[in-house]
Chain A
Amino acid sequence: MADNHASRAEHWTVLESPDSDAAWGCRVDSVGVKVPAGTLTTRELLGRTKHHTRIQLERLTGIHERHVVGPGENSFTLATGAARDCLAHSEHRAADIEVLISCSITRSRGGMSQSFEPPLSLYVKQAIGATQAVNFDLSNACAGMLTGVFLLQDLIARGEIKCGMVVSGEYISQLGSNAAKQIRSLFSKQLASLTLGDAGAAVILERAPEGAAGIDVIGFTTLAEHSRLCLAFPSTVGPGAQMYTKSRTMQKVAIEDIVPLLAEVLGQAGIDLDDIEYLIPHQTSARAIRKGTAEFARRLGAKPKHVVVNIEENGNTASTTLFVALHKYLEEGRMHKGDRVMLLSIASGIEIGIAILTVDSQVDRYGRTH
């Protein structure tokens, strides 16, 4: 085992792949979501701004509406709802979950706008009956859930556990309400807060049967030179946080720096970008996604077959975007066995996470509810 340490090639990303001499394969067993029933259109949100603005947010971002929590709902209830939905699509029972990681940015529960202790993961595992699971919380901005997947993949690949859950509940629309009270123009650093929507998501990872498809490769890095481009802390205008983002700089840096990282991860998987059936990037704005993927295609000389954009009805649901989108495509029966999917996290930090997975039998458990 130690020989691996000496022989491993240098990577910019911290990389997990079959090359890591893993004992076991790891795959996504099921994905669950909890989207609150309430909605808020971009037109309604902009109608609430304290100052008169002429921001054409819908045209800029492609967001028509976002879902928002109702009374009694919070990060905890969204996380728990998503975890239950995930179990409903799984052959595993709650008692099978050996590790449960809660990964949300927002952690509202009860009367607390942000709870610290005990960790939210403890309450979620108790609520769904996964009482035997080891639990902890993880915080990595909008890359939280994919970071959780990265950690579980290692535990499963080494044979330490067979089944684990990553969960996140984001009641983050408060940031939009707070921003609406302060924004004066298109150039406000709080503009990105107006794109946020609420959602919970959960994913169960399991040991893949011999020869079955699963997570091919997952790589992560933090471009910390740009760690202060998007900061959120408690607001003084209302409950919850306020977020300041240098969106243009962040987008520019991200696109510039992701290309070599994409090349590295694709190289590790031994494939090209055009072997990817669905690229699911972090959902910030339709325009940014289009611009980014066009740049990837230009520099890498290939492009994925489909780029998933589901921002129109959900907005940016923070750490849950990738799995809300994956769930939607599974439910709609768009994915087929053997399809390669790339999940791309871009988050404050700047965190870049790239996972390539091959869809397998989990597609059979979706789409029958409609």
Chain B
Amino acid sequence: MGAHIDAAAALTSHGRRRPNARRLADAAARACLARVGREAGDIDMLINAGVYREDHLGEPALAALVQEDIGANLGQPPVGGHGTFSFDLANGTCGVIGALKVQAGLLRSGVIKLGLTVASDVDPGPSESRSTPIQPIGGAVLLSWDDSIAGFTDFYSETFPEYAGMLVSGLMWRPRRGLRVSPGAAGESRLVIREQPGYLARCVDCAEEATRRFLARLGMDIADIDLLVPAPAAPEFLDALRVRLGVPGDRVSFTGEDMAGAYTAATIAALEVATKSGRLAEARNTLLLAVGAGITVALALYRQAPLPAGQLPDLALRQEGALE
């Protein structure tokens, strides 16, 4: 028994001129629910793990707006009724695995029965951008409890703060200059994304190191992994990592060209390919791997086979201090 991936859906903005992160998340959430015939009202917990939005909304959590848009348990709370709890979790590309971990834990406790994670980003035209532009892509993944499979058994995360400066982003105030600057438009907060050369190469190093450590702790070998669900999907990262780890191409969930440039939704895009092709259901051991700013590496092991009777998934959260 374990936390089971019911469905995953990822989509693009279909070339819209002004893509909108919230609408992308809404559409992905609806597509994901439709895929398994579930209602929005069934969702107990909705986590948004997206980072970049066109309006840089600070509050409320974007997840609350998505909850309203998809109509998940609106209206007054009657005692004994059923509600939805929404919030945002931010950890760049690793945020989706973090959200899945939160929900896998709460499913195991029986606190929730159905969890939805959404992630979407748009590129609001940063003044200093990264090597690969962010494409407007949204994703959603549904998690529930299933008695017949092991599901998510182990999560692992590791940070390499010595490389924290290699990808830094945020808003910076830029005052407008000139004689006719009105006080109401004295300037603007511009998104700045600074990526140093060699960032993705360093991501490969960190991902390899963390993956080897994770598998060693589990007493597993890379050959035991039947399917790798990676993020990001950029070839300069993924091809190098595959070679370093020795994962054959037929064991990787590659996303199509339409999903190139997916940011926080990259994990979901790769999961969608794996669920649609049926490979997630076939693979005994699936490794979810995400690497992002920090440098942070997040890993999760998803097992199809039921655990031996009486054995509960460990779900232990482990981390090794990179500076130790």
Q: Smallest distance from the beta carbon of A239 to chain B beta carbons, Å?
A: 4
Evaluate contact between B188 and A234: CB separation under 8 angstroms: yes
A1 to B311, CA, bound (A): 11
B58 at the interface (CB under 8 A from A): yes
Q: Smallest distance from the beta carbon of B308 to chain A beta carbons, Å?
A: 15
Interface string of A314-348 (1 = CB under 8 A from B): 00000000000000000000000000000000011
Please pick, from A22, A106, A126, A225, the residue contacting B161 in the complex, using a CB distance under 8 A: A126
Q: Smallest distance from the beta carbon of B78 to chain A beta carbons, Å?
A: 7
Which chain A residues lie closer than 8 Å to B57 at the CB level? 231-233
Q: Smallest distance from the beta carbon of A155 to chain B beta carbons, Å?
A: 6
Quick one: given A22-B109, A109-B170, A131-B323, are A137 and B84 in contact (CB under 8 Å)?
no
A256 to B87, CA, bound (A): 22
Evaluate contact between A113 and B172: CB separation under 8 angstroms: yes
Could you tell me which residues of chain A, from 8 to 48, have a CB within 8 Å of some CB in chain B? 8-16, 20-22
Q: Which of A157-165, A204-212, A358-366 contacts B (4 or more CB under 8 A)?
A: A157-165
Could you tell me which residues of chain B, from 253 to 307, have a CB within 8 Å of some CB in chain A? 292-294, 296
Please pick, from A14, A118, A134, A138, the residue contacting B111 in the complex, using a CB distance under 8 A: A14
Which chain B residues lie closer than 8 Å to A105 at the CB level? 58-59
Evaluate contact between A1 and B110: CB separation under 8 angstroms: yes
Across the interface, name the chain A residue whose C-beta is closest to B52: A116
B88 at the interface (CB under 8 A from A): yes
B198 at the interface (CB under 8 A from A): no
Evaluate contact between B294 and A111: CB separation under 8 angstroms: no
Evaluate contact between A234 and B82: CB separation under 8 angstroms: no
Evaluate contact between B85 and A222: CB separation under 8 angstroms: yes
Please pick, from B51, B98, B109, B296, the residue contacting A157 in the complex, using a CB distance under 8 A: B109
Evaluate contact between A241 and B86: CB separation under 8 angstroms: no
Evaluate contact between B58 and A136: CB separation under 8 angstroms: no
- How many chain A residues touch the partner (CB < 8 A)? 90
Evaluate contact between B170 and A112: CB separation under 8 angstroms: yes
Evaluate contact between A351 and B87: CB separation under 8 angstroms: yes
A303 to B318, CA, bound (A): 44
Evaluate contact between B76 and A257: CB separation under 8 angstroms: yes
A347 to B63, CA, bound (A): 13
A155 to B101, CA, bound (A): 10
A233 to B56, CA, bound (A): 6
Which chain A residues lie closer than 8 Å to B65 at the CB level? 224, 227-228
A248 at the interface (CB under 8 A from B): no
Evaluate contact between A50 and B183: CB separation under 8 angstroms: yes
A108 to B324, CA, bound (A): 28
A163 to B157, CA, bound (A): 17
Q: Would you mind naming 20 contact pairs between A and B with Cβ atoms under 8 Å apart?
A: A5-B110, A5-B145, A8-B113, A115-B170, A119-B294, A122-B161, A122-B294, A131-B323, A137-B90, A138-B88, A140-B60, A160-B317, A182-B184, A230-B59, A235-B189, A237-B186, A238-B186, A240-B189, A348-B59, A351-B87
- Chain B residues proximal to chain A, CB less than 8 Å: 1, 44-46, 51-52, 55-61, 63-65, 67-68, 72-92, 94-95, 98, 102, 105-113, 145, 147, 157, 159, 161, 164, 167-173, 183-189, 192-193, 292-294, 296, 312, 315-317, 319-324
